[in-house]
Amino acid sequence: MMKESLSKSRSRSGSRSRSRSGSRKLSRSRSGSRKSSRSRSGSRSGSRKLSRSRSRSRSKSSVTDEYIEYKFSDTKRKLGVKFKDNYPLVMDIDKDSYAEELDILKDHELTKIGNIIAPDTFKEAIKLFKSERTRMGGNFTLQFRLPIKDPNFNWMNLTDNKRNIMCSSNYISGITKDNINTKLPTSEGDNIGTYDDNYTLNPRIVGFDSIPGEVLLVPTNYPFYKGVGGKGGMCYNKIDSRPTWYGDKITGDIYSGDSKLIMVFKTTRPIVLLNLLDPVNIDWILGKLDLLKSEGRIDNESFDGYKNVLETALLNRTRHLKNIVGLENGKKRAIDSSLFSEYITYCNKKYGPKNLSGVVNRFSATWYDNEIPNILSLVLDGIYCDGYFADGIPSAGSIFPREIMLLNSIANMKIDFNNKLYTCPKKEHGKLKHKKTKHKKTKHKKTKHKKTKHKKN
């Protein structure tokens, strides 16, 4: 009784002083009741999440800045890691799998199976995985290398698992428009159509005539190819003055069609090509267009249209990079996929969709591509430059192939009819042997366009 009355008197005397805090406790208790009901209904899922987090922390046996090792104590569960053609990089993780539970990610690179360094081929890796998991039981581990997350890491070699690209180191100086015919070094390669031997390995120079950025210098008698089967167009025996796209043997094969028709060309004099994907050159082109507008040589509508073409085709901000893998000493090295929506650095240049000065992102569409020669014809007027080139680069469609476009091929290119790789039909004296084929007459008249027609691979 004494205890009960004492407690009551204390509650009465302190009721006023504690009224506010009591009201707060009451509101908390009400919200707490709702939380408790939720916790009861979600107790099972919560316990599962707790058990997963505990198993996840236990399974990460060691973590460094570059590597992470996982322990798979449950010998009966399937891992759910997919490699396929992307080995040793993880291509995908099965949903609700052991690997997903342990937070193994797509960009991780398998480096060790058990205590043994991962083999070079996926087939060998499967055999080693089975034997090591049987031998080690609940102590079985896999070690992964973490992907590169630095967007400014300068990659010198990249791949999309089909094609490899590499940086050129062939930079020279001292070549001008006055001495190019006598001082230009000969080509390092023969342009036989591989990524290890192509026209982008010819000498480069930064700054030529009034072009501030990078240009490519291609010597006399250098070969180029053009696929002219299917969508590639058709064989012809006379070069005209229209802007024309050329390529290496690989690009020629792509456009050769089922008939495998390829034309071969040779340069008749040294040619100078502006690097279309050099940010310095892009800024210079935009500046030249602005100058032409201020001088009244192009109107505002033309300026806006040309600017839109360049920004859409060369500085696209909506298309993310895709399927790009780094190469170090010939071996694959993962790039963190989060960078594909930002940018990566290749050959000291930045590529990706990030809206940042100096970041390039090539997007190809026929209308935009066909407008680029019209722009360059204006900008390069009076300048010693024959057209543009572009390296193979990381892009939204994985590796974007190399490009070359000449504004007027009559002055610097000839058809090499006698080249063994020339597969178009021909007669003596370089005349083509046209096949007798029936053509259906079209009912619609061709619409005349003011724009210059272009031939493109």
E strands present in 107-258? 109-113, 116-117, 141-145, 154-155, 157-159, 164-166, 204-208, 211-218, 223-227, 244-246
Q: Which helix (H) or strand (E) holds 309?
A: helix 300-314
- Taking the C-alpha atoms of 167, 170, 176 and 179 in order, what is their torsion angle to the nearest 10 degrees? -150
pLDDT at 247 over 80: yes
Q: pLDDT band for 456, please (50, 70, 90 cuts).
A: low
**Using CA atoms, how far apart are residues 338 and 395, in angstroms rounded to an integer?**
15
In whole numbers, what is the pLDDT of the chain averaged over residues? 84
For tokens 């049987």, the residue is 134
For residues 176-189, average pLDDT? 89
Domains and CATH numbers, the chain: 50-145 (2.30.42.10), 157-430 (no CATH)
Q: What is the pLDDT of residue 272?
A: 98
Residue-wise pLDDT for 90-124, tens only, equals 988 999 899 988 888 888 999 999 999 999 999 99
Give the distance from CA 330 to its chain's centroid.
Answer: 18
Q: Does position 384 have pLDDT exceeding 80, yes or no? A: yes
Q: What is the mean pLDDT of residues 191-214?
A: 93
Instruction: Give the mean model confidence (pLDDT) for residues 406-419.
Output: 95
Mean pLDDT across the stretch 308-321?
Answer: 95
11 vs 416, which has greater pLDDT?
416
User: Residue 161's pLDDT is what?
Assistant: 87
- State which H helix or E strand residue 344 sits in: strand 344-346
Other C-beta atoms lying within 10 Å of the C-beta of residue 283: 14
Most trustworthy range by pLDDT among 2-16, 34-48, 127-141, 418-432: 127-141
pLDDT tier for residue 454 given thresholds of 50, 70 and 90:
low
Taken in order 51, 53, 54, 59, is the CA torsion positive or negative? positive
pTM for the model: 0.78
Which one is predicted more confidently, 228 or 43?
228
Burial code of 60-85, b = ≥16 C-beta within 10 A, e = fewer?
eeeeeeeebbbbbeeeeeebbbeeee
pLDDT for residue 426: 74
Q: Where are the alpha helices (DSSP H) in 112-179?
A: 122-136
Closest C-alpha to 403, from 184, 147, 224, 163: 224
When pLDDT is averaged across residues 66-87 and rounded to a whole number, the result is 88
Structure confidence at residue 64 as a pLDDT band (50, 70, 90): confident
Looking at residue 441, its pLDDT comes to 47
Question: What pLDDT score was predicted for residue 63?
Answer: 77
Confidence of residue 17 (pLDDT cuts 50, 70, 90): very low
Q: In this predicted structure, which of 225-234, 276-285, 292-301, 324-333 has the lowest mean pLDDT? A: 225-234
Q: 141 pLDDT band (50/70/90 cuts)?
A: very high
Q: Is the pLDDT of residue 162 over 90?
A: no
Residue 42 has pLDDT above 60, yes or no: no
pLDDT over 90, % of the chain: 64
Q: Which is more confident, 427 or 8?
A: 427
Greater confidence (433 vs 116) lies with 116
Query: What pLDDT band is residue 320 in, cutting at 50, 70 and 90?
Result: very high
Confidence of residue 457 (pLDDT cuts 50, 70, 90): low
CA–centroid distance for 109 within its chain: 19
- pLDDT on residue 427: 54
Question: What does the pLDDT read at residue 421?
Answer: 94
Note the pLDDT of residue 78.
Answer: 87
